[in-house]
């Protein structure tokens, strides 16, 4: 549970501003680095993973089709927070039956927890050059969750060996060059950050590099050799909903706010506002073919929401009209 070895890297990353607008990563930093401060009396952390990659979603084909919307594979199904946290809570109950009288609290991406560091310490994988946890058998397509407890459980003493070697595929293929070095991610350039966490206008210099990615980005995983034979999930809750693995950009862009809310009920995509949704789709349309339908959709939506969305619609229209001229 000792995370002192990770502390200098976390502090340096934050000091360089790589967290962007994610101010919550600065808050409760000591609790991230010291689990016993987050949940008092914690002396052990159980780290678990759960595969989420749905089969047959053809991510590379969708990325190559500029009229389609690419959504990160983890967000195609139901919200993983609730699913994984429920599984962990059930596991905690079973442990409590075997070791009663102790405290157990489950987390998954929902509290100041240094999940990847804890997962690496537990032997679930090593920190890849793309900053995601990698495992020789399952790659990186998995969620992480933790159970904090004061039960004196046996410790794991088998951390995974780093096996990225000389491979730099994730660094090379990153569309916006957000991986500025091995295990160094500048979130301010990362498409996942830009499309989800960032609320305002997206830097014009980065828009053209985002392609048709409207919610998250998987490139660093898609081209990682350790994911070549990664297993898919049998969990029905992670299966794509509403055909989101293969939707047309224009159809999604023309959704009303009410329809957008209905589409994202029970989904991790609920994290983005309708304005962010429109912004992301406008960029993707601007990076696509200059069809009459795309131009008409952008013109129809202009002036309907706010200045931030209009800025990206104008950018997209300028790009598309430039193709015609």
- Structural contact between residues 149 and 104, judged by C-beta atoms closer than 8 angstroms: yes
Task: State the pLDDT at residue 158.
Answer: 80
Q: Residue 70 is inside which H or E element, if any? A: strand 70-71
Active site residue 96: no
Task: State the pLDDT at residue 324.
Answer: 81
Task: State the pLDDT at residue 160.
Answer: 87
What residues have CB less than 8 Å from 57, skipping those under 6 apart?
A: 73, 76, 240, 245, 246
The token pair at 6 is: 């990770």
The token pair at 147 is: 């159970």
Task: State the pLDDT at residue 234.
Answer: 94
Residues of the chain with pLDDT under 50: none
Task: State the pLDDT at residue 159.
Answer: 83
Measure the CA–CA gap between 113 and 305, rounded to whole angstroms. 36
Task: State the pLDDT at residue 322.
Answer: 87
Kindly report the pTM of this predicted structure: 0.96
Task: State the pLDDT at residue 325.
Answer: 63
Measure the CA–CA gap between 176 and 204, rounded to whole angstroms. 12
The token pair at 303 is: 């002036």
- Structural contact between residues 143 and 106, judged by C-beta atoms closer than 8 angstroms: no
Tell me, what DSSP letter sits at residue 49? E
Q: Which of 2, 21, 79, 109 is catalytic?
A: 109
């Amino acid at each position: 549970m000792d995370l002192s070895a990770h502390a200098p890297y976390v502090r340096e990353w934050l000091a360089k501003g790589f967290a962007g607008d994610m101010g919550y990563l600065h808050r409760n930093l000591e609790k991230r680095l010291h689990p016993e401060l987050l949940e008092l009396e914690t002396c052990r952390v159980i780290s678990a993973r759960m595969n989420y990659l749905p089969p047959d979603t053809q991510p590379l084909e969708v990325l190559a089709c500029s009229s389609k919307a690419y959504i990160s594979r983890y967000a195609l199904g139901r919200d993983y927070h609730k699913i994984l946290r429920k599984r962990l809570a059930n596991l905690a109950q079973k442990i409590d039956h075997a070791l009663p009288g102790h405290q157990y609290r489950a987390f998954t991406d929902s509290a100041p927890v240094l999940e990847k560091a804890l997962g690496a310490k537990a032997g679930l994988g090593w920190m890849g050059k793309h900053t995601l946890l990698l495992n020789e058998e399952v790659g990186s397509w998995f969620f992480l969750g933790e159970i904090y407890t004061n039960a004196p459980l046996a410790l794991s003493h088998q951390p995974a060996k780093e096996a990225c070697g000389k491979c730099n595929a994730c660094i090379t293929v990153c569309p916006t060059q957000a991986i500025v070095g091995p295990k160094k991610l500048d979130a301010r350039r990362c498409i996942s950050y830009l499309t989800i966490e960032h609320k305002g206008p997206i830097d014009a210099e980065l828009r053209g590099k985002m392609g048709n990615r409207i919610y998250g980005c998987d490139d660093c995983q898609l081209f990682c050799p350790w994911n070549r034979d990664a297993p898919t999930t049998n969990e029905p809750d992670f299966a794509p909903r509403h055909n989101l693995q293969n939707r047309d950009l224009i159809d999604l862009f023309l959704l009303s706010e009410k329809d957008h809310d209905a589409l994202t009920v029970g989904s991790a995509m609920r994290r983005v506002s309708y304005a962010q949704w429109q912004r992301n789709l406008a960029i993707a349309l601007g990076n696509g073919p200059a069809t009459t339908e795309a131009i008409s959709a952008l013109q129809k939506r202009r002036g309907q929401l706010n200045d931030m969305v209009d800025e990206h619609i104008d950018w997209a229209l300028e790009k598309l009209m430039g193709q015609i001229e």
